[in-house]
Amino acid sequence: MTTDAYIAGLPKVELHLHIEGSFEPALMFDIAKRNGIALPYDSVEALQAAYNFQDLQSFLDLYYQGMNVLQTEQDYFDLTWAYLTKMAAENVQHVEIFWDPQGHTDRGVAFEVPLHGIKAALKKAEAELGISHQLIMSFLRHLSEEQGFATLEQALPHRDAFIGVGLDSSEVGNPPEKFERLFDRCRAEGFKLMAHAGEEGPPAYVRGAIDTLKVDRIDHGNHCLDDPELARRVADLGLCLTVCPQSNMRLKNCLDIRQHPIRAMLDLGIAACVNSDDPAYFGGYMNQNYQLIQDGLGLSRAEIGTLARNGITGSFASPARKAELMANLEAYEAEAPKA
Ligand code: HPA
Ligand code: ZN
């Protein structure tokens, strides 16, 4: 059995996926057309050619532009369903996905519209594809804490629809401390907490996410490795890092896959897992992300298994569902041909 085939068949979970980042150019053109919106590109190919990023901000500019065509519940349903059917084909059995409500409400789309469309697709996937899920509301960190509080107020009537909150968008210059009061409130409301930290920002931002925001999980976390004492602490805490290899390459946060930080994380015993972040923009869903680090780092099957286990353990699935996901993984490992 080739490693490609082994990875393709491996039961997987995804914990770091921005649903707006799964918006494939062909679907974007379809939805723009039905909503009577003109995209500033002539063709799918011209749009894809623009996906040539220098850093996080150059990606975010196109990411916000792309989501502008989403307007109706049906649009959000179609977006989410397209992602989930792909994940079923890759044997992804549990997903925890972010949405950015402020990216929609700020241009006049009611808070409920994305929420209802996304949730309907997630429920359909649970029933028809056997994919369990959690939904996470992410605050845009380039906006103010006050705007975050206003978004939280809009969200609270729907609190049962999502398990926690995240923090994304432009990292450098928007440290975790900017959102201390908002996260205190979210914690008091009983939400799980996570934050993007150490993607482009320094180790101090990872420390801020842990000590000030008191997160349950860190998205990316790569730069914790720049501070050995912090890296040791992340390992000792068993804090899950949702690492995104293809994203790191495409945003030039990693220049050589043979030097990708997930190698050091595994060696330090940090609970890293593999995720796709914004696959339509970065050119790879779950299988390709595993494949990329496998090719670059020559992972053993035991290491691939550790990454898959870290995803299950770090998830917010129920204990019963975690046990089921773990049993599926163990059965696969026991049965897959060795070579
Ligand atoms: N980083 C920060 N914000 C984001 C990302 C990311 O990779 N994707 C979507 N919003
Ligand atoms: Zn992300």
What the chain holds in terms of domains, given with CATH numbers, is: 3-25+73-335 (3.20.20.140)
User: What spacing in Å lies between the alpha carbon of 168 and ligand 1's midpoint?
Assistant: 5
Residue of minimum CA distance from atom 7 in ligand 1: 277
CB 296 less than 6 A from any atom of ligand 1: no
Show the beta-strand stretches assigned E in 23-91.
none
Query: How many C-beta atoms lie closer than 10 Å to residue 29's C-beta?
Result: 16
Give per-residue pLDDT as tens, 19-32.
999 999 999 999 99
Indicate which ligand has the atom closest to the C-alpha of 247.
1
CB 219 less than 6 A from any atom of ligand 1: no
Predicted local distance difference test score (pLDDT) of residue 337: 85
* Alpha-carbon gap, residue 326 to 142, rounded angstroms: 38
* Alpha-carbon gap, residue 197 to 30, rounded angstroms: 34
Give per-residue pLDDT as tens, 247-261.
999 999 999 999 999
- Give me the active site residues, please: 199
Residues of the chain with pLDDT under 70: 339
Residue of minimum CA distance from atom 2 in ligand 1: 169
Longest dimension (CA), the chain: 55
Predicted local distance difference test score (pLDDT) of residue 339: 65
Predicted local distance difference test score (pLDDT) of residue 219: 99
- Write down the residue that tokens 């569902």 correspond to: 321
CB 22 less than 6 A from any atom of ligand 1: no
* Alpha-carbon gap, residue 49 to 225, rounded angstroms: 33
Token pair for residue 27? Answer: 């679907």
The closest of 321, 257, 259 to 295, measured between CA atoms, is: 257
DSSP string, 91-137: TEEEEEEEE-THHHHTTT--THHHHHHHHHHHHHHHHHH--EEEEEE
The pTM (predicted TM-score) of the whole model is 0.98
User: What spacing in Å lies between the alpha carbon of 98 and ligand 1's midpoint?
Assistant: 10
Bridge pairing between strands 240-243 and 271-274: parallel
* Alpha-carbon gap, residue 162 to 145, rounded angstroms: 20
Residue of minimum CA distance from atom 3 in ligand 1: 169
CB 169 less than 6 A from any atom of ligand 1: yes
Instruction: Judge contact between 246 and 279, C-beta under 8 A.
Output: yes
